[in-house]
């Protein structure tokens, strides 16, 4: 009782900050929000603006003479469409196999009675601290025949040590009485996992799944190193080629579209629209998983 009262007292004292302290906190958060949001707003405005207005207003926050020409060009370009479909496949397949192997490993190693428990736990955790380096990793991938194969995106990082620990800690928080009662009724370990543990683990599955999905969607390094065939590049590698390398040679009819006599879109239009094209899917998916996010993180990080 004393502990509860002390906790409530400390919580109430924290919530009763002076008005000027609350004001400073809100102002700081508002400033940070603006610093984050204004560049995104600028990119959105440029992607929807008329090409002639971009040079006049490079720092616009609202579209000038709104047009969908840049998006029409992107959706009519086979390079971006193909890379988008590749990224969707990589994200879906990669996230599925990530969750499958991570949940299986985390559930098995949440039982200390499993033979080799300590060995396998350290085998997964040690890579968090020590990495072999890029050259041995490339040689391994080459010997496995995964260079220029889309499966490298799925196989690479199949089980993240951080996500493994997060999910294992969540499984530890589930009462053992549920598993014992199911075992008494004749349920096998796989039945307990798929019929009891997984349905109860939606928060941590959504959280870890979001981590994996965002990682796959934003992964350009794997494609840059291991994919030599440009027709197999994911969206992020194509986006990097457009924005950083200024390479638009594979962008179809861009020179004709950018002809001064029929200026419809510019490189800035294409870059801004391509950026929005790349980040929009994750921005649309995140709100549906947000309700599970905090709960999964908190429960998975408390018990260890």
What does the alpha-carbon distance between residue 144 and residue 136 come to, in Å, rounded to a whole number?
Answer: 12
pLDDT at 89: 92
pLDDT of residue 294: 58
Q: Which helix (H) or strand (E) holds 100?
A: helix 78-108
User: What per-residue confidence (pLDDT) applies to 303?
Assistant: 47
> If we measure between CA atoms, which residue out of 48, 35, 36 comes closest to residue 277?
48
Taking the whole predicted model, whether its pTM rises above 0.75 is answered as no
| Predicted local distance difference test score (pLDDT) of residue 254 | 44
Q: CA 189 → CA 103, 107, 169, 184, 265, distances in Å?
A: 13, 10, 18, 12, 59
pLDDT value of residue 259: 43
Average pLDDT of adjacent 10-residue blocks, the chain of 304 residues: 47 62 88 86 83 75 79 78 88 91 85 80 81 83 87 87 85 79 79 81 83 87 86 84 62 44 63 81 75 57 46
Burial class (CB in 10 A: 0-12, 13-18, 19+), 120: middle
In angstroms, what CA-CA distances link 254 with 48, 97, 197, 277?
Answer: 17, 38, 53, 18
Residue by residue, DSSP assigns 18-31 as -HHHHHHHHHHHHH
Give residue 298's pLDDT. 53
Give the pLDDT score at 189: 76
At residue 15, the pLDDT reads 54
pLDDT at 291: 66
- Domains defined for the chain, CATH in brackets: 17-67 (no CATH), 69-302 (1.10.3720.10)
Distance CA 123, CA 161 (A): 9
The pLDDT assigned to 3 comes to 46
């Amino acid at each position: 009782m004393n502990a509860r009262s002390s906790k409530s007292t400390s919580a109430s004292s924290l919530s009763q900050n002076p008005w000027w302290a609350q004001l400073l906190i809100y102002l700081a958060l508002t400033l940070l929000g603006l610093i984050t949001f204004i560049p995104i707003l600028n990119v959105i405005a440029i992607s929807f603006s008329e090409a002639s207005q971009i040079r006049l207003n490079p720092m616009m926050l609202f579209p000038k003479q709104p047009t969908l020409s840049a998006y029409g060009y992107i959706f009519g370009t086979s390079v971006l469409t193909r890379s988008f479909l590749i990224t969707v496949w990589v994200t879906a397949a990669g996230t599925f196999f990530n969750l499958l192997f991570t949940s299986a490993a985390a559930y098995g190693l949440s039982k200390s009675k499993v033979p080799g428990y300590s060995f396998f736990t350290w085998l997964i955790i040690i890579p968090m601290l020590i990495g072999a380096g890029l050259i041995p990793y490339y040689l391994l991938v080459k010997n496995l025949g995964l260079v220029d194969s889309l499966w490298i995106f799925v196989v690479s990082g199949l089980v993240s040590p951080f996500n493994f620990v997060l999910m294992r800690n969540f499984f530890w928080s589930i009462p053992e009485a549920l598993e014992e009662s199911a075992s008494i009724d004749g349920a096998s370990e796989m039945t307990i996992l798929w019929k009891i543990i997984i349905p109860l683990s939606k928060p941590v599955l959504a959280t870890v799944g979001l981590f994996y999905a965002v990682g796959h969607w934003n992964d350009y390094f794997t494609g840059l190193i291991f994919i030599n065939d440009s027709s197999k590049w994911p969206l992020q590698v194509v986006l990097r080629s457009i924005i950083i390398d200024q390479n638009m040679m594979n962008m179809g009819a861009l020179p004709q579209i950018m002809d001064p006599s029929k200026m419809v879109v510019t490189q800035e239009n294409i870059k801004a629209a391509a950026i929005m094209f790349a980040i929009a899917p994750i921005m649309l998916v995140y709100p549906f998983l947000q309700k599970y996010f905090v709960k999964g993180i908190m429960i998975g990080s408390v018990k260890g």
